[in-house]
Amino acid sequence: MKRFLLWIPLFLAFAACGSGSNSDTDGGTNNHDGNAGDPCEAGQTRCDRQSYQECKDGLFTQTTVCQAPTVCAQDLGCVQCNPKVATTCVGNQVHECNSDGTIGNLLETCSGQCQYGECEGGCSSAAQLIYVVDDSYRLLSFNPAGGANEFKLIHALSCPASPSWPDWGNSIATPFSMSVDRSARAWVLYTSGEIFWVDTSTGQCSKSTWTPGKGGYKLFGMGFVSDTEGSDSEKLYIAGGDVGALELGNVGYIDPVALDVTTVGPVPDAEYSPELTGTGDAKLYAYFPGTNNSFVAQLNKTTGAVLQNWPLPSLSGTVRAWAFAHWGGKFYIFITAGSNSRVLKLDPDSGQTITLLENLPYRIVGAGVSTCAPTHED
Distances (CA, A) of 92 to 15, 82, 95, 110, 201: 11, 18, 10, 5, 14
- Amino acid letter at 91? G
∠ CA 147-152-155, nearest 5°, is 160
> According to the model, what pLDDT value does residue 107 have?
80
- 133 close to 141: Cβ distance less than 8 angstroms: no
Identify the band that residue 377 occupies on the pLDDT scale cut at 50, 70 and 90.
Answer: confident
Core vs surface per residue 108-124: b (16+ CB within 10 A) or e:
bbbbeebbbbbbeeebb
Instruction: Give the distance from CA 258 to its chain's centroid.
Output: 13
> According to the model, what pLDDT value does residue 121 have?
52
> What domains sit in the chain, N to C, each tagged with a CATH number?
10-119 (no CATH), 125-369 (2.120.10.80)
Tell me how far apart the alpha carbons of residues 236 and 290 are, in angstroms, rounded to a whole number. 25
The helix (H) or strand (E) run that includes residue 333 is strand 330-337
> According to the model, what pLDDT value does residue 7 have?
30
Identify the band that residue 18 occupies on the pLDDT scale cut at 50, 70 and 90.
Answer: very low
* pLDDT tens per residue, range 142-168: 999 999 999 999 999 999 999 999 999
Q: How confident is the prediction for the chain on average, in pLDDT?
A: 88
Identify the band that residue 8 occupies on the pLDDT scale cut at 50, 70 and 90.
Answer: very low
E strand segments, 191-305: 195-199, 205-207, 219-226, 234-241, 250-254, 261-266, 275-278, 284-288, 294-299
Phi and psi, residue 247, nearest 5°: -70, -10
> According to the model, what pLDDT value does residue 94 have?
83
> According to the model, what pLDDT value does residue 3 have?
26
Range 94-117 average pLDDT: 80
Put residue 351 in one of left, alpha, beta given phi > 0 → left and psi -120 to 50 → alpha.
left
Tell me how far apart the alpha carbons of residues 125 and 122 are, in angstroms, rounded to a whole number. 10
* pLDDT tens per residue, range 318-348: 999 999 999 999 999 999 999 999 999 999 9
* pLDDT tens per residue, range 183-211: 999 999 999 999 999 999 999 999 999 99
